[in-house]
Amino acid sequence: MLIGALALVSACSSTPVPLAAHGSGARAKLNAAELQGRWWSWAASSTSDSNPVSDPDGHLCARGQKGGVWFLAGTFGGAVTRSCTVPAARPVAFPLVNLFGETDDCNAFMATAQGSAVLDGQALEPDRYEATAVQISAVAGNPLTRDGGRFRTQACGLWVQVEPLAPGNHTLSIRGSSGSFAVSVDYKLQVSAG
């Protein structure tokens, strides 16, 4: 199924970003297949009425969050402002714009894909992932695959991954587009102290 829903960007900023003071240095970023497969599985783990992609204000931000990465969602198109509490010591990952489908779908999508992410006033450079084989696990009734089960497909997009943020308040602006599809999300992030 072809879906142009959100964007997940993997990037480290070329300028300093407020990171947590603890830890032994930079963590390894997830590779393209793992990042996209895990994010799409997260996005497809909730039904339409409780899905973080369709969340109007951030109240579904913590829905289905598992593992060592905190995922953020874009939209199914259009603009939204969300508030979200993020646990300390968790790296954050999100798409600017993304898609899954056939290789040709990804090739056409990525031909016009563009976007930006700004964290606390500092631009983040997204990673560009062309068609990559992924496996997605989904629940029945989710707005992305509709059906439940496990799916093998191709995923692509512009993605960002950042190290854990320092405790406190942060702002994140996500913009992405491909063709006539566009995403605009402004996040107010509160990182818990521990």
Distance (Å, whole) CA 115 – CA 181: 12
Looking at the DSSP bridge assignments, the partners of residue 102 are none
143 pLDDT exceeds 50?
Answer: yes
What are the pLDDT digits (tens) for 118-136?
Answer: 999 999 999 999 999 999 9
* pLDDT (tens digit per residue) in 154-186: 999 999 999 999 999 999 999 999 999 999 999
Percent of the chain with pLDDT over 90: 83
The answer for residues whose C-beta is within 8 angstroms of residue 109's C-beta and 6 or more apart is 4, 99, 101, 156, 157, 178, 179
SS3 content of the chain, % helix, strand, coil (to 5): 10, 40, 45
Q: How far apart are CA 131 and CA 33, in angstroms?
A: 9
Q: What is the mean pLDDT of residues 98-125?
A: 98
Q: pLDDT at position 24, please? A: 40
Residue 176, SS3? strand
Where do the DSSP E strands lie in 15-146? 70-71, 78-86, 92-101, 114-119, 122-124, 127-138
Contact 32, 9 (CB under 8 A): no
pLDDT exceeds 90 at position 36: yes
Residue 3 belongs to a domain? no
Residue 3 confidence (pLDDT) above 90: no
**Predicted confidence band of residue 26 (pLDDT cuts 50, 70, 90):** low
- pLDDT 10s digits, 40-53: 999 999 999 999 99
Residue 4 lies inside a defined structural domain of this protein:
no
Decide if 25 is inside a domain: no
What is the structure's pLDDT at 67? Answer: 82
Q: Is residue 157 part of a domain?
A: yes
User: Locate tokens 């109240």: which residue?
Assistant: 59
pLDDT band, very low/low/confident/very high, at 194 (cuts 50, 70, 90): low
Per-residue pLDDT at 18 exceeds 60: no
Domain interval for residue 115: 32-191
Averaged pLDDT of the chain: 88
Model confidence at 4, in pLDDT bands (50, 70, 90)?
very low
Tell me whether residue 59 is in a domain: yes
Question: Where does the pLDDT of residue 28 fall: very low under 50, low under 70, confident under 90, or very high at 90 and above?
Answer: confident
**pTM for this model (two decimals):** 0.86
Q: Does any domain span residue 1?
A: no
Domain contains 22: no
pLDDT, average across residues 94-101:
98
Q: How many structural domains comprise the chain?
A: 1
- In terms of pLDDT, which residue wins out, 88 or 15? 88
Whether the pLDDT of residue 13 is over 80: the answer is no
Q: In sequence order, what DSSP letters do the residues of 93-127 get, joined into one string? A: EEEEEEEEE-HHHHHHHHHS-EEEEEETTEEEPPE
The reply to whether 89 falls in a domain is yes
